[in-house]
Amino acid sequence: QVQLVESGGGLVQPGGSLRLSCIASSSIFSMFFMGWYRQAPGKQRELVAIITPGGSTNYADSVKGRFTISRDNAKNTVSLQMNSLKPEDTAVYFCNARDSRTSITAWGQGIQVTVSS
Protein backbone atom coordinates (compact mmCIF):
# COMPACT_ATOMS: atom_id res chain seq x y z
CA GLN A 1 0.00 0.00 0.00
CA VAL A 2 1.01 3.61 -0.53
CA GLN A 3 2.71 5.27 2.42
CA LEU A 4 2.06 8.98 2.99
CA VAL A 5 3.96 11.23 5.39
CA GLU A 6 2.98 14.84 6.11
CA SER A 7 5.24 17.60 7.36
CA GLY A 8 5.22 21.36 7.86
CA GLY A 9 2.51 21.87 10.45
CA GLY A 10 2.77 23.91 13.60
CA LEU A 11 1.59 27.03 15.36
CA VAL A 12 1.05 30.27 13.47
CA GLN A 13 -0.62 33.59 14.23
CA PRO A 14 -3.79 34.68 12.44
CA GLY A 15 -2.90 36.14 9.07
CA GLY A 16 0.23 34.06 8.84
CA SER A 17 1.23 31.30 6.45
CA LEU A 18 2.22 27.65 6.57
CA ARG A 19 3.17 25.16 3.89
CA LEU A 20 2.26 21.52 4.34
CA SER A 21 4.00 18.79 2.37
CA CYS A 22 3.17 15.15 1.84
CA ILE A 23 5.52 12.63 0.30
CA ALA A 24 4.29 9.34 -1.13
CA SER A 25 6.25 6.13 -1.36
CA SER A 26 4.59 4.96 -4.57
CA SER A 27 6.39 4.84 -7.89
CA ILE A 28 3.11 5.64 -9.67
CA PHE A 29 2.40 8.85 -7.78
CA SER A 30 1.55 10.63 -11.02
CA MET A 31 -1.51 8.40 -11.39
CA PHE A 32 -3.00 9.43 -8.03
CA PHE A 33 -5.68 11.91 -7.17
CA MET A 34 -4.21 13.76 -4.21
CA GLY A 35 -6.08 15.65 -1.56
CA TRP A 36 -5.82 17.46 1.72
CA TYR A 37 -8.48 16.97 4.37
CA ARG A 38 -8.79 18.40 7.84
CA GLN A 39 -10.58 17.51 11.04
CA ALA A 40 -11.17 19.77 14.00
CA PRO A 41 -12.01 18.35 17.45
CA GLY A 42 -15.59 17.12 17.59
CA LYS A 43 -16.17 17.70 13.88
CA GLN A 44 -16.21 15.50 10.81
CA ARG A 45 -13.29 15.29 8.46
CA GLU A 46 -13.74 17.68 5.54
CA LEU A 47 -12.15 18.06 2.16
CA VAL A 48 -9.87 21.08 1.85
CA ALA A 49 -8.38 20.73 -1.62
CA ILE A 50 -7.78 18.15 -4.33
CA ILE A 51 -5.52 17.92 -7.34
CA THR A 52 -6.01 15.46 -10.18
CA PRO A 53 -3.32 13.53 -12.05
CA GLY A 54 -3.66 16.16 -14.77
CA GLY A 55 -3.15 19.05 -12.37
CA SER A 56 -6.71 20.33 -12.08
CA THR A 57 -7.59 21.66 -8.64
CA ASN A 58 -10.67 22.17 -6.50
CA TYR A 59 -11.03 23.87 -3.13
CA ALA A 60 -13.49 24.08 -0.32
CA ASP A 61 -15.26 27.43 -0.34
CA SER A 62 -13.84 28.22 3.09
CA VAL A 63 -10.25 28.19 1.81
CA LYS A 64 -10.67 29.36 -1.78
CA GLY A 65 -8.34 32.23 -2.55
CA ARG A 66 -6.18 31.54 0.51
CA PHE A 67 -4.89 27.99 -0.01
CA THR A 68 -3.09 26.52 -3.01
CA ILE A 69 -2.55 22.82 -3.66
CA SER A 70 0.25 21.69 -5.96
CA ARG A 71 2.15 18.55 -6.86
CA ASP A 72 5.67 17.71 -7.90
CA ASN A 73 5.60 14.34 -9.62
CA ALA A 74 9.40 14.17 -9.80
CA LYS A 75 9.52 14.26 -6.00
CA ASN A 76 6.31 12.30 -5.31
CA THR A 77 5.11 15.27 -3.30
CA VAL A 78 1.89 17.20 -2.86
CA SER A 79 1.88 20.51 -1.01
CA LEU A 80 -0.67 22.86 0.49
CA GLN A 81 0.33 26.50 0.74
CA MET A 82 -1.87 28.15 3.36
CA ASN A 83 -1.98 31.94 3.48
CA SER A 84 -4.06 34.41 5.48
CA LEU A 85 -4.69 31.75 8.08
CA LYS A 86 -7.65 32.07 10.41
CA PRO A 87 -8.34 30.48 13.80
CA GLU A 88 -11.05 28.37 12.17
CA ASP A 89 -8.35 26.73 10.05
CA THR A 90 -7.09 25.02 13.21
CA ALA A 91 -7.32 21.26 12.68
CA VAL A 92 -5.40 18.10 12.05
CA TYR A 93 -4.61 18.01 8.34
CA PHE A 94 -4.44 14.71 6.48
CA CYS A 95 -2.89 13.87 3.14
CA ASN A 96 -4.97 11.55 0.97
CA ALA A 97 -4.18 9.56 -2.15
CA ARG A 98 -6.53 7.68 -4.46
CA ASP A 99 -5.19 5.39 -7.13
CA SER A 100 -6.88 6.32 -10.40
CA ARG A 101 -6.66 2.71 -11.59
CA THR A 102 -7.95 0.83 -8.55
CA SER A 103 -9.65 3.55 -6.43
CA ILE A 104 -7.72 2.28 -3.41
CA THR A 105 -7.26 5.11 -0.92
CA ALA A 106 -4.44 5.82 1.51
CA TRP A 107 -4.15 8.33 4.34
CA GLY A 108 -1.26 10.03 6.04
CA GLN A 109 -0.92 10.09 9.81
CA GLY A 110 -2.19 13.65 10.15
CA ILE A 111 -0.38 16.82 11.18
CA GLN A 112 -1.54 19.56 13.54
CA VAL A 113 -2.09 23.11 12.35
CA THR A 114 -2.94 25.63 15.05
CA VAL A 115 -3.80 29.24 14.24
CA SER A 116 -3.81 31.33 17.39
CA SER A 117 -2.45 34.56 18.80
At 26 the pLDDT is: 86
At 58 the pLDDT is: 98
Q: Measured between alpha carbons, how far is 1 from 99 in angstroms, rounded to an integer?
A: 10
pLDDT, tens only, 2-49: 999 999 999 999 999 999 999 999 889 999 999 999 999 999 999 999
Residue 1, pLDDT > 80, answer no
Strand order, beta sheet including 4-7: 4-7, 18-24, 77-82, 67-72
pLDDT, tens only, 62-105: 999 999 999 999 999 999 999 999 999 999 999 999 999 999 99
Distances (CA, A) of 29 to 2, 40, 86: 9, 28, 31
Distances (CA, A) of 64 to 15, 29, 35, 39, 81: 15, 25, 14, 17, 12
